[in-house]
Homo-oligomer: A and B are copies of this chain.
Amino acid sequence: MNITITGGSGFLGKKLAERLLAANELVGEDGASSAVENLTLLDVVDPPEELKNDPRVTVLTGDITDRALLEKAIPQSTDSIFHMAAIVSAGAEEDFDLGMSVNLDATRNILEICRGNRTKPKVVFASSCAGFGGDMPRIIEDMTARTPQTSYGTQKVIGELLINDYSRKGFIDGRALRFPTVVVRPGKPNKAASTFASSIIREPLQGQTALCPVAPESKMFLASPRSIVQNIVHAHNLTANEWGFSRETTLPGFTMSIGDMAEALRVVAGNDVANLIQWEPDPFIQEIVNGWPPEFDTRKAKDLGFIQDTSMEAVIRDFIDDEL
């Protein structure tokens, strides 16, 4: 299998690359598992040394809006593409043109390059629950309209539509996955409004205080990096027929109040750690979080065999194992 990951040095791209290389197999167009022959990682920054040093890995560093670079990243022999690169929500909101260029135009270029190839590559597209927004029903279902209230969400929904139409036309074999909010992210806080959901676990576990800007009763729809990466591979390996008339799904997640997240941290790491969370309400962040739909019925994903995290405690323990 010749595989390309865009955003291959990103937090999830890197984990996906590690998983594919370790498993050394992926289900091809013919329905059979094959070994990973070449894994191309495209990103603006280099991946870590251990990935670079794997003889199966090709590193391409540069801007995804550069069509020539994309063509190099997706040669005729490409079997599978995991398109993870994106300008995230705050970034696409701040710089509209950059968001359109990376999240929409580059996605379209990838699909066009695939369409021109002899093979019909599988394309797994990382989308987001930011595709939902505004006056939503209490529970978001598979057939709830996507009415995004950010440019990022808009660009992601457009990507889903293109994945569907290019698949229907037989240009690609696509799959689009709407990710829940990912906890626990490693590293530093980013500019996303949801960043506190990881901070309140990650920082206390490392002996640092973390500010929580929302009330304990605020709810979010969450999934762990482990379950998301496993679900990305599962999405790839399903047959086209199993997807049915629509090549998209919301990934399973769990709905939890921030207070219960803090309680899970207390159970796993004790009072001293959990007490490092400082509750400092920020009306601006609170209002944004209040606008996110917390409850999802992901029936399609569950019918298709996608997995869901078992508990917040398990998510925290996995984070400790994987990152600390």
> Does A242 lie at the interface of the complex (its beta carbon under 8 Å from any beta carbon of B)?
no
- CB pair B157–A161 under 8 Å, yes or no, is yes
- CB pair A148–B161 under 8 Å, yes or no, is yes
- CB pair A168–B149 under 8 Å, yes or no, is yes
- CB pair A164–B147 under 8 Å, yes or no, is yes
> Does A137 lie at the interface of the complex (its beta carbon under 8 Å from any beta carbon of B)?
yes
- CB pair A161–B158 under 8 Å, yes or no, is yes
Given the interface pairs A96-B169, A161-B148, A165-B148, the reply to whether A143 lies near B154 with Cβ below 8 Å is: no
> Does A244 lie at the interface of the complex (its beta carbon under 8 Å from any beta carbon of B)?
yes
> Could you tell me the distance in whole angstroms from the C-beta of A264 to the nearest C-beta in chain B?
33
> A residues 158-201 with Cβ under 8 Å of B?
158, 161-162, 164-165, 168-169
Contacts of A161 in B (CB 8 A): 146, 148, 154, 157-158
Most buried by B among A146, A147, A157, A165: A165
Partner of A245, one of B147, B244, B245: B147
> Does A151 lie at the interface of the complex (its beta carbon under 8 Å from any beta carbon of B)?
yes
Interface size on A, residues (CB 8 A): 27
Interface of A is mostly: loop
Most buried by B among A137, A146, A244: A146
Contacts of A135 in B (CB 8 A): 244-246
* Bound-state Cα–Cα, A168 to B149, Å: 8
Shortest Cβ distance from A137 into B: residue: B143
> Does A241 lie at the interface of the complex (its beta carbon under 8 Å from any beta carbon of B)?
no
* Bound-state Cα–Cα, A147 to B136, Å: 18
Given the interface pairs A145-B146, A158-B158, the reply to whether A151 lies near B169 with Cβ below 8 Å is: yes
> Does A134 lie at the interface of the complex (its beta carbon under 8 Å from any beta carbon of B)?
yes
* Bound-state Cα–Cα, A161 to B147, Å: 8
Residues of A within 8 A of B (CB): 96, 133-137, 142-149, 151, 154, 157-158, 161-162, 164-165, 168-169, 244-246
8 A-B pairs closest in CB distance: A134-B245, A154-B165, A143-B145, A147-B246, A154-B161, A158-B158, A145-B145, A151-B165
Known interface pairs A96-B169, A149-B168, A158-B161; 6 further A-B residue pairs with C-beta atoms within 8 A, sorted by A's residue number = A134-B245, A134-B246, A135-B245, A135-B246, A147-B245, A151-B165
